[in-house]
Structure 1
Amino acid sequence: MNFNDLNIYKTIYETKSINKAAKELGYAQSNLTARLKAIEHELNSTLFVRSNQGVAPTDNGNKVYRFAVKALRNWQKLQDTLVIRKTILSSELLVNFLIAKKKFFITDYAVTIKKSNQLESELTQRYYDVVVTFNQFDLPNYRLKQTANLPACFLKGKQEDGSTCPIAINSDLTCPFRKLTLKLCPDKTRLLEIDSLETIMQLVKRGEAVALLPQYLIDNDYQKVNDHNFNIPYYCYQYQI
Structure 2
Amino acid sequence: MMIDIILNNTGGAIMESLELRIFREVAYTKSISKTAENMRYVQSNITAHIKKLEGELNTTLFIRHSKGVTLTKDGEKLLYQAEKIISLLDKTLQSFQNNPKTLKIGTTQTIAGYLLPKCIIEYQKQFPNVSLSVSTLNQDELDQSLSNGLLDCIITNSTHNITQGKQVLEFQENLMLATPCSCNSINDIFAYPIIINNIKSCPYRKALLDWWNLHQSKSPMIIELDTVEAILNTVAMGGGISLLPKYILADKQNINSFCIEDLQYTSIQMWIAMNKLPSEYFALKDILKKQFNIDNS
Q: TM-score, normalised by structure 1?
A: 0.58
C-alpha change, 1:110 and 1:165, in structure 2 (3 Å) is: same
Aligned equivalent of 2:137:
114
- C-alpha distance in 2 between matches for 1:78 and 1:181: 45
The aligned amino acid for 2:204 is: F
The aligned amino acid for 1:237 is: W
Cα deviations by residue, 1:178-221 (Å, 9 ceiling, x for unpaired): 12112210235224151413332221121101001111223213
Aligned equivalent of 1:5:
none
Aligned equivalent of 1:220:
253
Say whether residues 1:143 and 2:176 are aligned partners. Answer: no
Aligned equivalent of 1:211:
242
Aligned equivalent of 1:123:
146
Which secondary structure does the structure 1 equivalent of 2:143 belong to? Answer: helix
Aligned equivalent of 2:201:
174
Match of 1:189 among 219, 244, 251: 219
1:96 positional shift: 3.0
1:91 positional shift: 0.3
The aligned amino acid for 2:115 is: L
Summarize the alignment of residues 1-241 of structure 1 with structure 2, pairs less than 5 Å apart.
Answer: 24-25=37-38, 81=97, 82-99=99-116, 102-105=118-121, 108=124, 109-135=132-158, 136-140=160-164, 142-161=165-184, 163=189, 164-186=191-213, 187=216, 189-198=219-228, 199-216=230-247, 217-218=249-250, 219-224=252-257, 226-228=258-260, 231-239=265-273, 240=276
- C-alpha distance in 1 between matches for 2:138 and 2:155: 12
- Where does structure 2 lack aligned partners over 5 or more consecutive residues? 1-32, 40-92, 125-131, 278-297
The aligned amino acid for 1:236 is: M
Structure with greater Cα Rg: 1
Residues 169, 269 of structure 2: 8 Å contact kept: yes
Residues 204, 243 of structure 2: 8 Å contact kept: yes
- C-alpha distance in 2 between matches for 1:120 and 1:203: 31
Residues 181, 212 of structure 1: 8 Å contact kept: yes
Cα deviations by residue, 1:30-87 (Å, 9 ceiling, x for unpaired): xxxxxxxxxxxxxxxxxxxxxxxxxxxxxxxxxxxxxxxxxxxxxxx67983442311
Report the count of equivalent residues. Answer: 174
1:171 positional shift: 2.9
The aligned amino acid for 2:272 is: Q
1:160 positional shift: 4.1
C-alpha change, 1:107 and 1:83, in structure 2 (3 Å) is: farther
Which secondary structure does the structure 2 equivalent of 1:200 belong to? Answer: helix
Aligned equivalent of 1:14:
none
Instruction: Give the fraction of aligned pairs with identical amino acids, expressed as a percent.
Output: 16
Residues 199, 226 of structure 2: 8 Å contact kept: no
Residues 168, 200 of structure 1: 8 Å contact kept: yes
C-alpha change, 1:21 and 1:209, in structure 2 (3 Å) is: closer
Q: TM-score, normalised by structure 2?
A: 0.49
Q: Please identify, of 205-214 and 154-163, the stretch whose mean Cα deviation from structure 2 is larger.
A: 154-163
The aligned amino acid for 2:37 is: E
- C-alpha distance in 1 between matches for 2:147 and 2:204: 25
